[in-house]
């Protein structure tokens, strides 16, 4: 996640740097460093800020399970961590999902796929 996207999400959440730091359990200086581009946004912070954005966006809406939207074959559905942990529309938060029939090698390669996926896009609003 780049510095602009991180800052835009913070603004969409309506949080100050101090408030977001508290939510992410990191220092306000770290938030400032991410937004200035002095430090890369770590995976754990990216995951959590996307989760918060999705939660705020979804509210109480009931989302369809990802395996239903993606029409996964029974064997994939049975072996996918998203099904095992009843992740439904949060499959993009879990490493090892089988969206392409096999797990992705890294968070970055997974998120490249997820950002194009209708499940992710239905949970996470466009970042403005």
pLDDT in tens, 81-115: 999 998 878 999 998 999 888 898 898 899 999 99
- Which part of the chain is CATH 1.10.260.40? 3-58
Mean pLDDT of the chain: 91
Alpha-carbon distances of 32 from 3, 16, 28, 89, 105, rounded to whole Å? 10, 10, 6, 30, 30
What class is the 3-58 domain?
A: mainly alpha
Its pTM surpasses 0.75? yes
pLDDT in tens, 60-75: 677 788 888 889 999 9
Q: Rounded CA gap, 11 and 14, in Å?
A: 5
């Amino acid at each position: 996640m780049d510095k602009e996207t991180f800052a835009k999400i913070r603004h969409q959440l309506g949080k100050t740097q101090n408030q977001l730091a508290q939510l992410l359990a990191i220092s306000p200086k770290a938030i400032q460093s991410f937004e200035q581009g002095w430090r890369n946004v770590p995976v754990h912070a990216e995951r959590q800020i996307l989760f918060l954005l999705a939660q705020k966006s979804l509210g109480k809406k009931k989302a369809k399970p990802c395996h239903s939207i993606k029409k996964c074959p029974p064997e994939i559905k049975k072996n996918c961590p998203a099904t095992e942990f009843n992740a439904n529309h949060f499959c993009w938060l879990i490493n090892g999902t089988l969206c392409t029939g096999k797990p992705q090698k890294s968070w970055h390669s997974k998120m490249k796929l997820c950002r194009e996926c209708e499940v992710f896009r239905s949970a996470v609003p466009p970042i403005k």
